[in-house]
Structure 1
């Protein structure tokens, strides 16, 4: 395969591969020699490294005599670890700097397996001549992205590399198995929180809430007014902030305030393999009169999909709103459309919003007003809500389903703890039992210790360990 016009490979190649070559050319990557950026240290203390390295070492033990290198990278393409039992392969990889501490991101090394997997967030196989740099064409690389099982964020990738003349049929399957085992191990060693569901690419209409939105804090109002001002001038807005903070809700409310009769659609990102169907479902709506599309989580889109989306937005600058985790994460093809970035602070920095939102979510869930005891209100108001308004909505909806007046024993144990570190499933069960006993009417530490078969000193030590706030458990 030759370079052709310098912007894309020639021959029967996929659109993803051609798009990657075009990006590599725009990055100015040299085509004759790979020159990755070197970082002196790598993060070996992360959950990704702990679990991924363990999985790869187990796989390496079964492939010890094979000319295959097994690698783990972070989300930016930095190689964290490399295992290879073939001396010739090891020396060859050293010559092209495919080793721990070097970044093989697309912007540094051009089209390669791990870079393409990270850019498009989907399993990728790059054979010999499909590499952008000629110095990499002696290899075939299979890579699979690893997603954080709790947040869904891109954590890194598993990369398997072998000689180009070796069979590649099994390589991608092995990489997928290793990535899947890494994710499962990360979940097992996480805090016991529920895993994030796989993206399904939902597209739905946002209707006006039957309940008036609550009066929220100055921080929320400032972000809302900034969004409305930009939209009112016919400009494009991107709302950024932590997952669950309420970015889509803010964008929808801003559009409703400006255009009460407008049809508002929300398009959530799909799994990478479903992007074509997802785009076909809703992109024809862009540019229609009295229609606005809020495209959520554009930072989770594959790189090639961001380019396709940008092409559909061209000529319709006022027909859409974007949301993302932060402005730096917005893909460059989409960022060129953005006139104003509105940052929505997380809920822990908007404590005055917690109780108004709690009453609002409870009313929506139960269909009528719900009250909170002083102890329950205190517990809600002082929790740091790591998953933001999304977590608050879930907690309050579950509690409101049980009573018109929510007390502490209606709230889950997570509201009464601040651990600051992941808990094993066994630790989470122990914490939940302690909270359950302390939340009972008239409970004391002495009675809880007796019920659990623990000493009082042990209960106090466990309360400190799990960050259990006994004062909030008392009505």
Structure 2
């Protein structure tokens, strides 16, 4: 624009801006001829979030990574063009997809001072929810944008122009961030937007080459370790898997996503080989080695060794329906097989057995399976206090009088010392064919005396679900059959992978409740249960890092909003009263995985 045209535009635009900002939030005027739809929509979001254009300013953050991988990818591209900044009062700014300013390139001292005074510096956030409308709206529109002077929502930015373009990963098409060219309003030039777009194109080409190098890096790591084709070797990341013939034969039927999830958990845990139970019941030792320490999820090489199973343990002992194992129970993991070995050794004897474990692990089922589910009577010690000592002992005698049956006393640890002593006396007077009991594993640390607990000849501890996540697929399938979904309900590997990251405080009971809930939703029809069918609270609990209670509540609210909006992140953000960039930041901070979620 010529000088006079700029002045006329500024006057007319300022009037339209004042009319918009002075209007009630509930009755905002429609876009005027001078106010572009993109600017109007951003102003509207800023007003709805309660931002005051006189007071908004960038916020300083403590968790901005100055060595962010995006900054490392952009720096070489900008350095080759840095000489252009020396001949004009311009600055280049790099932000991540959450609006956090990662790096700034500026040669003009006065412009640098002005930007410092405004807080436009590394370590701050220019998110729309913080400063209102800026050229970072490019990450919402997906196209290059230029915001001039009073088009900014903040009054403090009215003397500046900013041209921005989004950086999109060339392979997976995910938004990574943006590059912006900033100058004084008086120095605005039409070439700004094409120049930023050209820089972004060069950055995206570099990322494409970098992805190709990453695949090559994965292959090179596989080659280094695949020196003997007789030993199973796997190299994989979240999207690629390379195996030799020995590994392909051994891992037949193992889903890649489950294998990668196991590797990911192992890499962030204690060093050293881990144990993995395969769908065919074979137990293998897996030595996981990171392909690179330069970035997260760069990949891993798995060196696999087939473990020798002791002859006393039957590989099929934990498979549902086998007569030689625990009938009606499911499991293949190492911890479950160890339990099977203990139970098998106790089958042919009449000694009393105490089955301990966390609530929901299936203690009663293990006790009943120990006797083959035949002639087993069950009494719950949780009722003893309300019945009183005499009533409890009479109920005990009624179950055993004249009957040659085994007895299981549930929650035997709940008996107070007097009731425990009375129970022991009754059992000595009217002994069952075999005495079994269940108790919470926390009894090991209690000092309260319980004569009955001390009387058991053998103790078996049922492992919690977190120690047998390799069984999760089989457990879900078994619970699905029990809930009436046999032959018509199928679970995708991605859904099982998400559930494997859930903290199951109720152990198997929690899994069973979720399966019954989702199978009931199928209403008798055929269904493939994917990640999108999982309740939001489970998606929140299946985040990639453990969440505190308040974080779980926030994550659930976000996932509910996304589901209600059909996956439209802009609509979900509006429903939550936040900017979409804020939504992205929260999703990232909470570790929510939306890549496999389809709404």
Which of structures 1 and 2 has the larger relative contact order (alpha carbons within 8 angstroms, sep 6+)? 1
TM-score calculated relative to the size of structure 2: 0.39
TM-score when normalising by structure 1:
0.48
